[in-house]
């Protein structure tokens, strides 16, 4: 069989790693009817408001605003993190759309087992991609456009409107999920020069040189969270104080480690 006709996929060990790290699985599972929604439906303001109100009740958030912020952070973990990890570490693309992603709250047994009532992500109809020889930069732009401009940006805009949360908070919620991927990856990829190079290049591109249109925004929304002395260095960002507050302290007895509020 010709290579061009062979389906592209991840290795079994890679699927297992994505599931272990990010609870990411391509199989569509039976979902509870009580609180589940296709991501596309969250772009409808009324549906988004209704979902946030239900989610707030589920997770113990005292307001729609806090539920929106927590959902953005959760979505970045479930969606953004595995897509970027696969892109950079495996050199494979996971083109997830608003229509093939569904958020579903765990049932009682799952919630007890995990200790969390936050929703999980179910994916339907996933097709893995990879760059053609010599065309990784073009492929990377396509992956990031699908990830940010076509998916995350419209979702964040809807959450911002429904929850009355500044977009900057939602984007920083995503950023704090992105930076650790590249720090941890640098530590784990020791001895693999190609992966180490992609980790450096992809992080630098996303946070410094990627154009605003790849994010569907007027400016690169990640660039504002990079201090000049830390440009291109993922690891040093983790010890930095956030510029915005995600409101986690309003539903918990503690602040996030990087919260700017206690200062």
**pLDDT score recorded for residue 113:** 60
Per-residue pLDDT of 238-253, as tens digits, reads 446 778 877 776 777 7
Q: At what angle do helices 167-188 and 64-75 cross, to 10 degrees?
A: 30
**pLDDT score recorded for residue 111:** 62
- Sheet with 120-123, strands from edge to edge, namely 36-38, 101-104, 120-123
**pLDDT score recorded for residue 186:** 67
Residues of the chain with pLDDT under 50: 1-3, 229-239
Domains delineated in the chain: 18-251 (1.10.510)
pTM over 0.75: yes
**pLDDT score recorded for residue 63:** 94
Q: Long-range CB contacts (< 8 A, 24+ apart) of 50-57?
A: 52/159, 52/162, 52/163, 55/105, 55/119
Per-residue pLDDT of 186-219, as tens digits, reads 666 666 888 989 999 999 999 999 999 999 999 9
**pLDDT score recorded for residue 28:** 57
């Amino acid at each position: 069989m010709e290579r061009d006709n062979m389906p592209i996929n991840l290795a079994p060990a890679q699927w297992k790693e994505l599931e272990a790290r990010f609870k990411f699985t391509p199989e569509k599972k039976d979902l509870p009817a009580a609180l589940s929604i296709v991501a596309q439906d969250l772009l409808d303001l009324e549906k988004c408001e209704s979902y946030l109100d239900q989610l707030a009740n589920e997770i113990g958030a005292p307001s729609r605003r806090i539920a929106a912020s927590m959902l953005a952070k959760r979505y970045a973990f479930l969606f953004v993190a595995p897509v970027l990890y696969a892109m950079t570490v495996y050199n494979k693309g996971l083109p997830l759309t608003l229509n093939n992603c569904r958020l579903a709250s765990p049932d009682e047994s799952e919630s007890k087992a995990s200790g969390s009532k936050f929703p999980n992500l179910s994916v339907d109809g996933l097709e893995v991609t990879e760059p053609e020889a010599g065309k990784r930069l073009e492929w990377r732009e396509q992956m990031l456009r699908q990830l940010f401009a076509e998916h995350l940006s419209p979702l964040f805009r809807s959450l911002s409107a429904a929850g009355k949360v500044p977009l900057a908070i939602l984007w920083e919620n995503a950023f704090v999920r992105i930076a650790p991927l590249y720090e941890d990856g640098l530590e784990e990829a020791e001895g693999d020069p190609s992966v180490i190079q992609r980790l450096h290049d992809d992080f630098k591109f996303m946070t410094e040189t990627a154009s605003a249109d790849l994010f569907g925004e007027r400016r690169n929304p990640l660039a504002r969270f990079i201090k000049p002395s830390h440009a291109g260095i993922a690891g040093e960002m983790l010890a930095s104080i956030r510029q915005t507050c995600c409101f986690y302290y309003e539903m918990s007895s503690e602040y996030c480690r990087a919260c700017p509020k206690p200062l």
